[in-house]
Amino acid sequence: MNWLKENWTGIGVWALLIGGGVWFFAGNNSSDPSSSSNYNRFDDPSTTRSYEEYGDKDCADFSSQSEAQEFFEEQGGPDEDFHNLDRDGDGVVCESLK
């Protein structure tokens, strides 16, 4: 009977360790845009402005990621991303076009 008690105690300790590790690290999801990163946005993408010259641009409006990146940088880069092309805030736009 002692053997059974010792094994269940060991299993319980390991389960708590593994479960705690999963719980602790599950909160650090780097693909989550709301998670902290090395790049912080200083603008408000929901801010509106006149799009008289270009209209509202989306990634679908560009034929390549480099074209979208060039437009993004010409328009002020991450500090003025009024077109909201850099949704994850990492400074690279339209990553789906790569």
Domain of 76?
A: 42-98
* Position 11 in a domain: no
Residue 67 lies in a domain: yes
Q: Is residue 57 part of a domain?
A: yes
Domains of the chain: total: 1
Q: Could you read off the pLDDT of 43-63 as tens digits, one per residue?
A: 565 555 545 556 788 899 999
Instruction: pLDDT band for 19, please (50, 70, 90 cuts).
Output: confident
Query: Is residue 26 situated within a structural domain?
Result: no
Instruction: Give the 3-state DSSP-derived string for 26-89, with helices as H, strands as E and coil as C.
Output: HCCCCCCCCCCCCCCCCCCCCCCCCCCCCCCCCHHHCCCHHHHHHHHHHCCHHHHCCCCCCCCC
Percent share of the chain, pLDDT over 70: 65
* pTM for this prediction: 0.47
